[in-house]
Chains A and B, each alone.
Chain A
Amino acid sequence: MSADFLYGIEVIINGLMAGVLYALVALGFVLIFKASGIFNYAQGVMALFAALTLVGVMEGQVPFSHLINAVFGTEIHHFGWEVPALLAILLTLCIMIAFAWAVQYFVFRHLVGQEPIILFMATIGLAYFLEGVGDLMWGSDIKTLALGLPQGGSMAVEEWTAGLGGDDFYGFFIDKLDMVATVVALLLVAGLVGFAQYTKQGRAMRAVADDHQAALSVGISLNFIWVLVWSLAGLVALVAGVMWGAKSGVQFSLSLIALKALPVLMLGGFTSIPGAIVGGLIIGVGEKLFEYTIGAPFLGGATENWFAYMLALIFLVFRPQGLFGERIIERV
């Protein structure tokens, strides 16, 4: 087999892996949109906030220390203890649940029944707010995530596949972190699907997604369900934040990963969990393959950002509700 072809396969494999990472971000959007019709722009900032909180808790940072120091003239930075990773993750989850409750209680409870664009705008306000709070709480420097996630190309895969091609083929490159991310994403999706199918709360969640009023009339508390989905979205955000943060360190730019998830959402449909996964994979492979075959050799590279959107746009022209989205039925 020619090296170009093998490298093409390598690009596809890595595209799939990247797609899983995109899907992780997109999942959070889908959960909230499905249950409440809110297009949650703040999902990216939630990932940043969750990751910041995790690092801050692990390192025993004093929240809002900069603000406290500025107001009271003190010099405090750390509590002086370190929290083990698992406990820190649990604590972070608690904070995300508290956040979900606060969002529901203070904001979206008052906005039930508003037009989608108003809800969208409110989430943008939320994004600003959370960005500011995150910076105030934990500072704006780059933090290193010390969870001990494996990094680097897998030598085993590389050596095992090196024989497939000639001398100019060096074996497939697969990042260990991507493998971990894939496994985590699979577990997460399986968990979410299992939760939605087999538990009481999960069924209630699906009922709310289907029809708010019908769900209300059989005694399901909408408020509870919405807090639940925001908490789940917080969990997804934490996972996404950890996976992306492992690469780049935890920093402000993490909030921009939301932009990577949008074409995935368009393609997969805003309301479908499998859609987010499949959409992620298609976008991942599509943009990497385009960059490999056309973008880098002929267009000067850096085409991935817009090509992902173009690809989704082309799909949408044929299926305006996305691949797995609910059919849009319009009546006069």
Chain B
Amino acid sequence: MFYREAGDFKTSYEADSQTFPIAFDRYRYWAVLAIAFLVIPFVINDYWVNAIFVPFLIYAIAAIGLNILTGYCGQVSLGTGGFMAVGAYACYKLMTGFPDVSIVIHIILAGGITAAVGAAFGLPSLRIKGFYLAVATLAAQFFLVWLFNKVSWFYNYSASGQINAPERFVAGVAVTGPNTAPWAQYMICLVFLTVCALLARNLTRGTIGRSWMAIRDMDIAAEIIGVNPLKAKLTAFAVSSFFIGISGALFFAVYLGAVEVGEAFGIQKSFLVLFMIIIGGLGSIFGSFAGAAFLVVLPVALKVIGVDWLDWPTDLVAHLQLVIVGALIMFFLIKEPHGLAQLWRVTKEKLRLWPFPY
């Protein structure tokens, strides 16, 4: 009834090729944006920002990045943690090296540096495929973490080996450092996420996105019809790393404020982001959001239910949390192997016919 394309006539090419062709989708999209930009910043507090929103927004950026590589181009990567570390350390070096330049530019540059590193580590993908590639990207993960730990230039020779984000401002409002208002933290992440998501959505709809998907579906066939695998794979690595670098920079500068590479960007992070896109749905921007939300909110929700409501010992809750998260992952995969995004797609199909299904 509400969700249908019937009667939604397009009268120009622009209208026909817009991002959300169905009217309801469009309204929903604007509604979500309006709530995210105009309502949430005014009602959130420290806890909501630090425990849920900021990690969700940042992980969503990382998940979009990895989804471009894994979901759209079919190259499984376990180097996400390492690439996030590149973004974080690049951002730190830029922040301390050029304190007068805006942090926004630093974060974008950090993304660019990560893109270059990612493309370099993407080179073996021309030869190695599937799980072999996944394990090969672990080389990047371990090497980068070791490097940032070993070479003290990266952490400005500080005695502790940790990097701390100094205070930086955007339009006179602090966005990093301890005195950041919760809404400012939230807003900078939200702006980056919105831009990244729009960029990703449109990239994947265009020529380059189609060449990625051709490579994913069958690289030999794609090569035969004229897709350059070198270009497609390396751009996928570069674009994906760009997003991951931005998320790493935000993760360090805005969310945590201080990191140590092995702890914050270890192998666990690589797996976590991979879980997000598989649970959310490979090859779907919405899936990246859904997966990030699922894995950020679920543990917190389980903790709140177990510890605060049921008053169980914290260690029991933590163990049960593992059991439940694991069981839910398996349950979802059995029920819907293509992730939450597919569930959403199915719902939309149903909505189209509602209330008169045939």
Q: A residues within 8 Å of B by Cβ?
A: 39, 66-67, 70, 106-107, 110-111, 114-118, 120-122, 124-133, 135-136, 140, 259, 262-263, 265-266, 270, 299-300, 302-303, 305-306, 309-310, 312-313, 316-317, 320-322, 328, 330-332
Q: B residues within 8 Å of A by Cβ?
A: 70, 76, 124, 127-132, 135-136, 138-139, 142-143, 145-146, 150, 218-221, 224, 267, 271, 274-275, 278-279, 282, 312-313, 315-316, 319-330, 333-334, 337
Chain B residue with the shortest CB-CB distance to A123: B330
Interface residues of A: mostly helix, strand, loop or mixed?
helix
Interface residues of B: mostly helix, strand, loop or mixed?
helix
User: Closest Cβ of chain A: how far from B217's Cβ, in Å?
Assistant: 11
Chain B residue with the shortest CB-CB distance to A299: B150
Which chain B positions have C-beta within 8 A of A309? 135-136, 138-139, 142-143
Give Cα distance in the complex from A310 to B79, angstroms.
13
User: A125, B319: Cβ atoms under 8 Å?
Assistant: no
User: Closest Cβ of chain B: how far from A318's Cβ, in Å?
Assistant: 9
Which chain A positions have C-beta within 8 A of B130? 116
Give Cα distance in the complex from A330 to B50, angstroms.
48
User: B136, A129: Cβ atoms under 8 Å?
Assistant: no
User: A129, B326: Cβ atoms under 8 Å?
Assistant: yes
Which chain B positions have C-beta within 8 A of A135? 319, 322
Which chain B positions have C-beta within 8 A of A116? 130-131
User: B333, A132: Cβ atoms under 8 Å?
Assistant: no
User: A125, B333: Cβ atoms under 8 Å?
Assistant: yes
User: Closest Cβ of chain A: how far from B198's Cβ, in Å?
Assistant: 27
User: Closest Cβ of chain A: how far from B327's Cβ, in Å?
Assistant: 5
Which chain A positions have C-beta within 8 A of B329? 121-122, 124-125, 128
Q: With A303-B146, A309-B136 in contact, do A132 and B320 touch (Cβ < 8 Å)?
A: yes
User: Closest Cβ of chain A: how far from B213's Cβ, in Å?
Assistant: 15
User: B326, A128: Cβ atoms under 8 Å?
Assistant: yes
> Which 7 pairs between the two chains have the least Cβ-Cβ distance?
A129-B326, A132-B322, A125-B329, A128-B326, A309-B139, A132-B323, A306-B142
Please name 11 pairs of A and B residues whose Cβ atoms are closer than 8 Å in the assembled complex, sorted by A. A116-B130, A116-B131, A121-B279, A121-B329, A125-B328, A125-B333, A266-B136, A299-B150, A316-B124, A331-B220, A332-B221
